[in-house]
Amino acid sequence: MSSRPPRAPRPHRRPHRDPVRVLAFDALRAVDERRAYANLVLPPLLTKARRAGELDTRDAALATELVYGTLRRQGTYDAVLAACVDRPLREVDPPVLDVLSLGAHQLLGTRIPVHAAVSASVELARYVLGDGRAKFVNAVLRRVAAHDLDGWLDRLCPPYDEDPERHLALRHAHPRWIVSALWDALGGGREEIESLLAADNERPRVTLAARPGRATREELLAAQPQAEPGRWSPYAVRLAEGGEPGALDAVREGRAGVQDEGSQLVALALAGAPVTGRDTRWLDGCAGPGGKAALLAGLAAERGAALLAAERQPHRARLVARALAGNPGPCQVIVADGRRPAWRPGAFDRVLVDVPCTGLGALRRRPEARWRRGPEDLDGLASLQRGLLRSALEAARPGGVVGYATCSPHLAETRVVVGDVLKGLRGPGDPRAEWIDARPLLPGVPGLGEGPDVQLWPHRHGTDAMYLALLRRTA
Ligand SMILES: C[S@@+](CC[C@H](N)C(=O)[O-])C[C@H]1O[C@@H](n2cnc3c(N)ncnc32)[C@H](O)[C@@H]1O
């Protein structure tokens, strides 16, 4: 009996290491496992890979896009993957799910051709997970590739008229409770909320603030010829796509800082609000990491006023000190709880409290944040926000002004807080306060709402969704 000679075993092929995908996977693992923030975890990984000669500028841009895009659309990709995996997604190992999500993003959210997206993902799976799980990744991604993103959304989204919030949540990759909260604050119809949700999914251009008395906008523009002046703040400069703030001397020397234009407008409005009488003592009661404090300190210096910056977290207070180093006028940083003041009541002419919040106004720059937050977070912040505003009112003298700011437009963190605190000021020793119309203090900025407070929006103003209420202490 003749028999064929046994086939030689196939030589085991070492999986190819694609530095862009491996780096993106490492970043996703860090975000998932250590609850790291993508905007903090990614830059050192990119720097290390570039120093090792593994990535050029285009590779770094692709790795960034893969990480940010995968995280931002996680809810939508999970819904697609759930339809392609024959067991609940929570039973899929997290590293496998990260490879699948990265693959789903390449297939549904980029222009990478289907075959390249699948084969790069399978190769990544072989490299980081092994051959067995690579087969599973291959099978799932082939099912994902059966439709493009619109095709999947048509299959997965309920009709808009039946369930508008769920429809928008899936289509624009936001948790439903956030769609609901944003819509409550924004008002308007479908077109307006869709513009906002779409704007949340765009990466914002980097904006700088030239710190008064230390740098000028012209200096920044001359150093970065492709940069543009900001739209609203006279101190703002918007870098071109991919612009590196660290390449500017003024940023390295702390004379300018990265700061969204919305934050600049908040500081400028507080500084511009009319006060009666003395105007020499300013307080930032929640100063870390110091962006608004640096702008306020520069403005104070121009008017012969001094800024005290208080921050509860020592490490964040150190960041404030760094931001204020070199300020041309008097300023001081202290570690203090803004609710247990280290200052006399009525000591200040202007007070800012930019309180800790859910950050729902800055979803553009923190891609994973929307999936980490939950409505229960509001409960934990409610009494802190009220306590800080109340202390701020106590810190201002009669005739002085207080700015209450959040980088969240959620009504429970904005108007409701201010309304509650004002209503609660009834006791004989309590400060009294009235609203100031903040809108004229943001000159030239349209669409600020019905006042007296202001709400900025990414789709209207190109800023984070910062909220500002200005109050005058009356007694
Ligand atoms: C939204 S951030 C402020 C951002 C800052 N204004 C800026 O522009 O860079 C809120 C800050 O308040 C600090 N914080 C939280 N609770 C505080 C408290 N009870 N007293 C003082 N600061 C507090 C947080 O550590 C955080 O640094």
Per-residue confidence (pLDDT) for residue 273, from 0 to 100:
98
Which atom of ligand 1 is closest in space to residue 388's alpha carbon? Answer: 19
**Kind and range of the H or E element at 349?**
strand 348-354
Evaluate whether residue 3 is within a structural domain.
no
Asked if 400 and 392 touch (Cβ cutoff 8 Å), the reply is: no
Q: What are phi and psi of 255, to 5 degrees?
A: -85, -15
Q: Is the same domain home to 116 and 42?
A: yes
Per-residue confidence (pLDDT) for residue 242, from 0 to 100:
77
| Residue with CA closest to ligand 1 atom 2 | 356
Asked if 120 and 22 touch (Cβ cutoff 8 Å), the reply is: no
Q: Is the same domain home to 222 and 105?
A: no
pLDDT higher than 80, residue 13: no
pLDDT digits (tens, 9 = 90+) for 181-212: 999 999 999 999 999 999 999 999 999 999 99
**Kind and range of the H or E element at 284?**
strand 281-284
Average the pLDDT over 22-39 and give the result.
96
Which atom of ligand 1 is closest in space to residue 310's alpha carbon? Answer: 21
Q: Is the same domain home to 127 and 192?
A: no
Q: ∠ CA 286-393-413 to the nearest 5 degrees? A: 60
Look up residue 373 and give its two tokens. 């937050």
| Residue with CA closest to ligand 1 atom 13 | 286
Per-residue confidence (pLDDT) for residue 2, from 0 to 100:
44
Instruction: Output the average pLDDT for the chain.
Output: 95
Active site residue 407: yes
158 is in an annotated binding site: no
CATH label of the domain that carries residue 93: 1.10.940.10
* Nearest alpha carbon to residue 405 among 453, 474, 350, 462: 453
Pocket probe for ligand 1: among 208, 233, 312, the residue whose CB has the most ligand atoms within 8 Å is 312
Per-residue confidence (pLDDT) for residue 278, from 0 to 100:
96
Evaluate whether residue 41 is within a structural domain.
yes
- The neighbouring-strand residues paired with 183 are none
Q: Is the same domain home to 404 and 286?
A: yes
pLDDT higher than 70, residue 107: yes
Residue 425 DSSP symbol: -
ipTM over 0.95: yes
* Nearest alpha carbon to residue 110 among 76, 154, 59, 70: 70
Q: Is the same domain home to 170 and 319?
A: no
State the residue range of the domain holding 27: 19-149
Domain boundary among 132, 149, 166: 149
135/118 Cα distance (integer angstroms): 11
291 is in an annotated binding site: yes
**Kind and range of the H or E element at 286?**
none
Evaluate whether residue 12 is within a structural domain.
no
| Residue with CA closest to ligand 1 atom 10 | 356
Evaluate whether residue 10 is within a structural domain.
no
Average the pLDDT over 272-296 and give the result.
97
- Please tell me the pTM assigned to this model: 0.94
Which ranges constitute the DSSP H helices of 213-313? 217-223, 249-252, 261-272, 291-302
DSSP strand pairing (331-335 vs 306-311): parallel
Q: Is the same domain home to 285 and 342?
A: yes
DSSP strand pairing (348-354 vs 396-406): parallel
Per-residue confidence (pLDDT) for residue 267, from 0 to 100:
98
